[in-house]
Amino acid sequence: MWKKIILLCLFILLPFTMLVACTGNEEEDLNKPAADKPKEKTTSSDDNEPGAKVYVNNRDAGNIQVIDSSTNEVLDTIRVGEKPTYNEIGPKGKYVYVANSQSEDVSIISTDNNEVVKTIPVGKTPKGINFTPDGDWVFVINEGEGTVTAIDTATMEKEATIEVGDKPHNGIASPDGSKFYVTNTASNSVSVINVVSKKVTNTIEGIEGAPHNLNITPNGETLLVTLTQKGELGVIDLNKEKLTATIPVGTGHHVLDITADGKFAYVGNIGADYVSVVDMEKQKEVDQIEVGMGPHGTTISNDGKNVYVAVTSKDQVAVIDRKENEVVKRVNVESFPFFISTLENTDVIE
């Protein structure tokens, strides 16, 4: 009899015991920190992969502004030296080097936090700046004294000063990293520097028309030089180290970039209101893209879809869609945007 009573009590109490246990677990779960709970998948903009960072030299404002290309919004404004002219991002994507022509130094910006980590004095009136493809060396062109400063990027220290021609303006390395070419505006020539020895090994003469900015085809065979006084591009055969042709474009001291396949060049004509599109095979201007008066810095995105142009008179960056060769977006920046570099997701190397 007692056994039956005990079994009956257990039968009645068991569901109640289970209910209390389940309720206790729920309360324990509710009191856990949010981090311990499974998170729901959201679709906020933070989940979207950020676009390229566009670094813009605002010469008269004395700063660099950083634009997120996916939103076309200014992310950051970085104070640098006086009259920043050109900037370049190293091949490893960790630092931006900025030539400040009036304060005669170079600002080094970390791309991690967009802060200046070092300032290096260089020569008189530095203008152009560029890296070797391995990122080991950066060369600063000192227009006011006819020299090039070589900086070791590992130590961030000056290692050599190289004498070149009269009024040098900008430079670029060969794709194999063995040579560095410098335009000499007042000498109508291009100096050829051996990267290892840091010495001039040749001077390409007869580049008439005040050679100013320059770029090199991906195969390393052709150097394009802007001829400021003529409104032309000079075509230099690097196998012969000789000027072989000229291509009429717009007026002014131009900046140019070349597509990754080497088929087209985009040229900013600061004395006009358009960007010239040059067919490299035909060696001919095939299109003009109106952007506003005074386009200067001109950079093609890594994927080849867009061209970013600093429009000096409008204090804007114009974004060109290469498929249609027309301006699709504009971003307002500060005073006198002069040059542009892009840091893309594939650029940063740990």
Q: What are phi and psi of 71, to 5 degrees?
A: -115, -15
3-state secondary structure of 214: strand
DSSP H helical ranges for the chain: 2-30
- Those residues of the chain that have pLDDT short of 50 are 1-48
3-state secondary structure of 190: strand
Distance CA 236, CA 242 (A): 5
Domain boundaries, the chain: 53-343
DSSP 113-159: TTEEEEEEE-SSSEEEEEE-TTSSEEEEEETTTTEEEEEETTTTEEE
Distance CA 246, CA 206 (A): 12
Which CATH number among 3.30.70.1560, 3.40.50.300, 1.20.1110.10, 2.130.10.10 corresponds to the domain 53-343? 2.130.10.10
Positive or negative CA dihedral for 77, 118, 174, 208? positive
DSSP 48-88: SPP--EEEEEETTTTEEEEEETTTTEEEEEEE-SSSEEEEE
The predicted pLDDT at position 81 comes to 98
Alpha carbons within 13 angstroms on the beta-carbon side of residue 88 total 23
